[in-house]
Amino acid sequence: MFRFLIAVLVLLIAACGAPPNIVMVSRSVPGAGERVIFVATNRAFEDQRYTSVRESGVEYARFSVSIPPVRDVGEVTWPGGGRPDPETDFLVTEAGMYSGPQAFRSDIRAALMALPREDREVVLFVHGYNNNFASGLFRIAQMAHDYDAPGIIAHFAWPSAGTPLGYVFDRESAVFSRDALEAFLRDLSAAGAERILLIGHSLGAYITMETLRQIRISGDDSVLEALSGVVLMAPDIDIDVFQSQARAVEPLPQPFVVVTSRGDRALRLSAGITGRQDRLGNIGTPEDVAEFSILLVDISAFRPGVGDWANHSTLATSPTLIQLLSGLPTLGQREADIPLDLWSGTVLTVRNATQVLLTPVGP
C-alpha cells in the first residue's frame, strides 16, 4: 500500500501544472493552421468562461483555433502567464455562442453542405479525465490538424474538474453527462449529419459507451445508424462494465475500435484505485472482449509525445504514431482488409475480436 501511495503522489506531482486558458487574438500568423470546432457543453458559463460547474442543459458554441507553426507534431502549447505568441501557442481567433440548438443545427447543416459529398462527416471528440475547457478544445484541434482530418470537427466538453485530484468528481460528472451527449448526437443527426465518427478518450470513452447504451435501450435508436464508427482511446472502463454496456448496445456500430497500451500509467493508477488489475484500455489480449466485433489496436510499442507524462494520450501525442496512421483509412477496417506492410504489426483474432499489435516502422 505504501508503494502504491508513493506512485500516486509521483504521478500527481508530475501531472501538476498550470492548465491552459483560452486566449483570443485577432488573427493568426503565416504558416499557422486553423480549425473550426463546433462545441456542445454542459459546463456552466461563469465569469466569461466555461467552468467545471455542472449545467443541467446543453449550450452550443463555435471556436476557430489557431495551430502554431512552431511546435512538435502531437504537442499542444499555450502561453501560460506569458504573452501569447501565435508562432508557438494554441490560440482562439474567433468564438461565438449559439442562441439555442436550432441555430446550431442550421450552422452545422450549412457547413456540411459546403463540403464535397465524400467529406460530409462529423468527427465528434469526447475528452477525458483532468481536462478543463481549453485543454479539451485545443487537443481536438491538434488531432484534427496533425491527422489532417476531413469534414466537420465537433467537441463535447463535459464538466471535468480539470485537476489530477478530481478523479472522483470526474467519474460522477461522466455519469451526469450521458443525457447531454445524447442530445448532441441527436442534434447532429437532425442537422443532416449522415456520418458521425465518435471518439471517446479515457473517461470520455465511458460517457460514450453509457450514452450508446441508453440510446439503444430507449428504442429511439435511429441516430446510431448515422455512426460511421466508434473509437475508444485509452478507455477508462472496467472490463466487466464494458461487457455489460456492449451487450446492451449490440450490434455495435462498425467499425468499433479500442486503442490500448499496456504502458498506460494513468489506467494502472485507475485500476489500483478501483481495486482491479486492468481497465479496458490496457488489456493485453482479446479474450475478454472476444464475443464482440471489435478491433483492438495495441500501441504499447510507441513512446508518447511531449507532455504526456502518463502515456495516456499516445494516439494524440506520439509523432511516430501520427506519421504512421495519418491519412490511412485503415484504423476501422477488419483484419482481412488491413495492409500489414502499413500497419507493421502482428494480427491476432479470437472469435469476433481482432487485435493488432502495432510496432514502429523502421527506416
**Per-residue pLDDT at 245 exceeds 90:** yes
Q: Is the bond preceding 255 in cis, omega lying within 30 degrees of 0?
A: yes
Kindly state whether residue 10 falls inside one of the protein's structural domains.
no
319 lies in a domain? yes
Q: By C-alpha distance, which of 254, 317, 288 is closest to 77?
A: 317
Instruction: Give the gyration radius of the chain's Cα atoms.
Output: 19
Q: Is residue 11 domain-resident?
A: no
pLDDT band at 27, cuts 50/70/90? Answer: confident
- 238 found inside a domain: yes
Among the residue ranges 29-33, 38-42, 54-58, the one predicted with the least confidence is: 29-33
Mean pLDDT computed over 328-343: 47
Of all residues in the chain, the percent with pLDDT exceeding 70 is 89
More confident residue, 93 or 333: 93
Residue 12 lies in a domain: no
- C-alpha distances (whole Å) from 15 to each of 116, 122, 151, 265, 307 are 42, 31, 33, 12, 9
On whether residue 8 sits in a domain, the answer given is no
Q: Please state the rounded mean pLDDT for residues 39-68.
A: 96
Q: What is the count of structural domains for the chain? A: 1
Report yes or no on 7 lying in a domain.
no
Q: What is the pTM of this model?
A: 0.91
- Residues spanned by the domain of 27: 18-358
Look up the CATH number of the domain holding residue 184. 3.40.50.1820
The x, y and z cell numbers of residue 92, run together, are 482562439
Task: Quote the pLDDT of residue 26.
Answer: 81
Pairing of strands 196-201, 227-233: parallel
Q: What are the b/e assignments for 20-35, b being 16+ CB within 10 Å?
A: bebbeeeebeeebbeb
Q: What is the pLDDT of residue 344?
A: 59
